[in-house]
Amino acid sequence: MRNEVVVEEVLAGKWNNEPELGQISAPTLIIAGRHDAQAGSMLWSFKILKGIADSELAVMNGSGHFPHEEEPAEFQRVIREFVHRRVPPTRKCSS
């Protein structure tokens, strides 16, 4: 699918899942590249942040659309810190 088609569909509301965002209760980290030309702006990231209660937004300052490829070490650090802060450790079952 070409980017132009995707953008048209998003702008037309075909992929609008904003009303369902409030149903998400899991710890949520939104990661966005500051220079993401494909997304066009940070608007979508902020909409997701607003829609999911207690979510967090990490902005990757040196990245575009693929922060996991453009800044892999920083991307991993951000996720690791989020998990340590927000995801409770699992309990081991005793046998």
Q: For every one of its 95 residues, what pLDDT tens digit does the chain have, with 9 covering 90 and above? A: 456 666 676 666 666 788 899 999 999 999 999 998 777 778 889 999 999 999 999 999 999 999 999 999 999 999 999 999 998 887 666 65
| CA neighbor of 58 nearest in space, from 80, 39, 32 | 32
Tokens of 71: 């800044």
What is the per-residue pLDDT for 94?
63
63 CA to centre of own chain: 14
What is the per-residue pLDDT for 7?
62
Tokens 């990490």, residue located = 58
What is the per-residue pLDDT for 32?
93
What is the per-residue pLDDT for 10?
61
In this structure, what is the dihedral angle of CA atoms 71, 5, 21, 45, given to the nearest 10 degrees?
40
DSSP-derived 3-state class of residue 33: strand
- Alpha-carbon distance of 95 to 80, in angstroms, equals 30
How many residues appear in the chain? 95
DSSP-derived 3-state class of residue 12: coil
What is the per-residue pLDDT for 31?
95
